[in-house]
A and B are shown apart, each in its own frame.
Chain A
Amino acid sequence: MSTPYVLLGLLAAGNRHGYELKRAHDNRLPRARPLAFGQVYATLGRLARDGLVAVTGQEREAGPDRTAYALTARGRQELDQWLVTVEPPAPYVASALFAKVVVALLAADVDTARSYLVAQVRAHTDRLRELTAVKTAPSATFDDVVAADYAIAHLDADLRWLRTTLERVADWHREVRS
Chain B
Amino acid sequence: MTDLQARGVVKAYGPTPALRGVTLDVAEGEIVAVTGPSGCGKSTLLHCLAGILRPDAGQVTWRGQRIDTWSEATRSKLRRTEFGVLFQFGQLVTELTAAENVALPLLLAGTGRREARTAALGWLERLDVADIVDVRPGEMSGGQQQRCALARALVTEPRVLFADEPTGALDTLAGEQVLTHLVRLARQQRTSVVLVTHEPRIAGYADREVTIRDGVVDATGLGLDLPLAGGGR
Among B183, B200, B228, B233, point to the contact of A117 (Cβ < 8 A): B228
Decide: A128 and B201 in contact? CB cutoff 8 A.
Answer: yes
Decide: A110 and B231 in contact? CB cutoff 8 A.
Answer: yes
Decide: B204 and A129 in contact? CB cutoff 8 A.
Answer: yes
Nearest-neighbour CB distance to chain A for B216, whole angstroms, equals 17
Interface residues of B (CB under 8 A from A): 179-180, 183-184, 199-201, 203-207, 209, 220-222, 224-233
Most chain B CB inside 10 Å of its own CB: which residue of A111, A117, A129, A170: A129
Question: In the complex, what distance in Å separates the CA atom of A172 from the CA atom of B231?
Answer: 15
Decide: B204 and A163 in contact? CB cutoff 8 A.
Answer: no
* A97 at the B interface (CB under 8 A): no
Question: In the complex, what distance in Å separates the CA atom of A114 from the CA atom of B233?
Answer: 12
Decide: A163 and B222 in contact? CB cutoff 8 A.
Answer: yes
Interface residues of A (CB under 8 A from B): 110-111, 113-114, 117-118, 121-122, 125, 128-129, 131-132, 135-136, 138, 152-153, 156, 159-160, 163, 166-167, 169-170, 172-173, 177
Decide: A114 and B228 in contact? CB cutoff 8 A.
Answer: yes
Cβ-closest 6 pairs across A and B: A132-B204, A170-B227, A128-B204, A114-B228, A173-B227, A156-B201
Question: In the complex, what distance in Å separates the CA atom of A104 from the CA atom of B148?
Answer: 48
Other CB < 8 Å A-B pairs besides A136-B183, A152-B201, A167-B224, 10 of them? A110-B228, A117-B226, A121-B221, A129-B203, A132-B205, A159-B200, A166-B222, A166-B227, A169-B228, A173-B227
Chain B residues whose CB sits within 8 angstroms of the CB of A125 once the complex forms: 200, 203-204, 209, 221
Decide: A110 and B184 in contact? CB cutoff 8 A.
Answer: no
Nearest-neighbour CB distance to chain A for B187, whole angstroms, equals 9
Decide: A110 and B209 in contact? CB cutoff 8 A.
Answer: no
Decide: A156 and B200 in contact? CB cutoff 8 A.
Answer: yes
Decide: B200 and A173 in contact? CB cutoff 8 A.
Answer: no
Decide: B227 and A169 in contact? CB cutoff 8 A.
Answer: yes
Q: Which residue of A lies closest to B231 (CB)?
A: A110
